[in-house]
Structure 1
Amino acid sequence: MDKTQQPPQHQERQPGREDRMDPPPDYMPRFPGSGRLDGKVALITGGDSGIGRAVAVAMAREGASIGIVYLEEDQDAEETSRAVREEGSDIIQIAGDIGDEDFCREAVKRTIAEYGRLDVLVNNAAEQHEVSDFRDLSAEQLQRTFKTNVFGYFYMTKAALEHIGAGGSIVNTTSITAYQGYPDMVDYSATRGAIVSFTRSMAGALVERGIRVNAVAPGPIWTPLIPASFDAEKVARHGSSAPMGRAGQPNEVASCYVFLASEEGSYMTGQVLHPNGGNIVGS
């Protein structure tokens, strides 16, 4: 069976750019909205592209006003903003590094200044880097990966909790690698495992405040992180090992975030959803 999923391609640096991907990811919501997030405000890290973009547009279709946080990918962020506004929602763009706690506080402050409230936080931004021999994993890379993928989630959550009240929701992005591991990305996999524990611990800490905390653990999804992380040959095969035999699209994942953020998920906290193409993992 031909395992080629998409043309070979590679991007030299992270974050990757969605406008350079061939084919472009499918991020538009697949179904009409039903007002599940009417009047809500959602702040989404990594919201310029990939899963974050799909979540922003899906939540906008459900009636939410949107804030997106991203590092520096202005062109991708502008495309996300265009798509959100076409759904009839407002959006603000906030560029900066979530590994900086001061920036995280500022991002939340700007959201409150614009909208006057915050109801949903989506911690989604992350980075990953392949290292085939664990002995070559540098202290610099280890610290940087944890700074973005773990510390950034802590910082954003701390800042957001000054404003999210009862009925609010936090949704964290983890990964299938938290459950299955990935030999060439030990540091990344470890951060994703940390986010599972973070999600469960925060769910218990916030349940009496009426704030739900859940997570989504995607499998192989066609996002800019893929060509920015792997060589062209691996990118071409990305998704072929999933039982469904293909990579997922961001809009096949975004509905999990909408569900968890909305009242449809009102009896769920401390849980992880697994849109991964059929891989069976422990919960």
Structure 2
Amino acid sequence: MVSTPKIHAQKQRLPGLESEMTPIPEVIRDSYRGSGKLEGKIALITGGDSGIGRSTAVHFAREGAHVAFTYLAEEKSDADETVRLIEAEGQKALAIEADLRERATCDAVIQQTLDTFGGLNTLVNNAGTQQINEDMTTLSDEQWKTTFETNVDSLFYMSRAALPHLGEDDTIINNASINAYIGPQSLIDYSATKGAIISFTRALSNQVVGRGVRVNAVAPGPVWTPLQPATIGAYDPEKLEGFGEITPMGRAGQPFELGPCFVFLAALDSSFISGQTLHPNGGTVVNG
């Protein structure tokens, strides 16, 4: 059984840094053995500098993939560490500073990946944001727009730019959330974007699966990443006390428990799966 340290009150400013968290999230199990599932593949991960994105990047590298990832300017120190971890696995890393809310930026990220690595096999749409709001009458137009631009518009722009370069057995994997199914009252805009991602995943899969491109999603439960102290903690540090203990497993997930889900969906192990969602959420049943 996985045992995780208790999480205590703390706060950061968005977008948050993994290096400033207590405890530091765990990226990959020492016992995880790569077996070449992604040998020679090229992956691009948005928001790959920390948290679930970093774990996915390191797991992909351990399975033989070269990895490009995006990060925000404020996350440079975390991005440097992710590059180090990818290269420690013997693979090539490309860190791209990019705010993905604009179409032109997303197009440029895809092109830079192609120019550097000569192709693309897996796109992981992981970048996202949230802010706490417990009264929708005070939820600003700006927050609503920013949440959708970050979580949904970027996913659309990135997927559209990537699709012409994806072929048989290539994949798109979208990071959704348990909140698309349970709808926490303090995350209305965030939950709405994650519901949109589930529907987008299903519809895009139906559109492209006939040509061999698989599109799936992962809907994590509470996972210890920089987004938590930078949003929940920034709103009320005390709300992080015992973060994740509400799950049936009684704890938050660690990023190393998410990375293998993305490996599975990127590899041929999932060759008969498309339009579906994995639910690493600590045992919560969501019927989706």
Q: Distance in 1 between matches of 2:28 and 2:284?
A: 25
* Partner of residue 276, structure 2: 271
Number of the residue aligned with 1:65: 66
Per-residue CA shift, 1:36-90, capped at 9, x if unaligned? 0001000000100000000000000000000011122100000001000000100
Corresponding position: 1:257 with 2:254: no
How far apart, in 2, do the equivalents of 1:173 and 1:143 lie? 19
1:121 pairs with 2:126: no
Alignment of 1:150-161 (within 5 A): 150-161=152-163
Q: Calculate percent identity across the aligned residue pairs.
A: 50
Residue in 2 that maps onto 1:7: 8
Q: Report the residue type matching 2:182 in the other structure.
A: Q
Distance 2:53 2:38 in 1: 17
For the residue of structure 1 that corresponds to 2:227, the secondary structure is coil
SS in 2 for 1:229: helix
Q: 1:164 deviation in Å?
A: 1.1
Is 2:34 the counterpart of 1:33? yes
CA distance in 2: counterparts of 1:25 and 1:211, whole angstroms: 32
Residue aligned with 1:93, SS: strand
Q: Secondary structure at the match of 2:114?
A: helix
Matched with 2:217 is 215
SS in 1 for 2:120: coil
Residue 198 of structure 2 is matched in structure 1 by 196
Per the normalisation by structure 1, the TM-score is 0.97
Q: Does 1:23 align with 2:23?
A: yes
Q: SS of the residue aligned with 1:226?
A: helix
Asked if the contact 1:128–1:229 (Cα under 8 Å) also holds between the matched residues in 2, the reply is: yes
Q: Over aligned residue pairs, what C-alpha RMSD do you find? A: 0.9
What TM-score do you get using the length of structure 2 for normalisation? Answer: 0.95
> Whole-Å Cα distance in 2 between the matches of residues 203 and 158 of structure 1?
13
Letter in 2 for 1:34: S
Aligned residue identity for 1:38: E
CA distance in 2, matches of 1:276, 1:46: 20
Structure 2: gaps spanning 5 or more residues? none
Paired residue total: 279
Task: Measure, in 2, the Cα distance between the counterparts of 1:6 and 1:192.
Answer: 25
1:280 aligned residue: 285
Moved over 2 A (4+): none
Alignment check: 8 A CA contact 1:26 1:251 kept: yes
Q: Report the AA paired with residue 162 of structure 1.
A: P
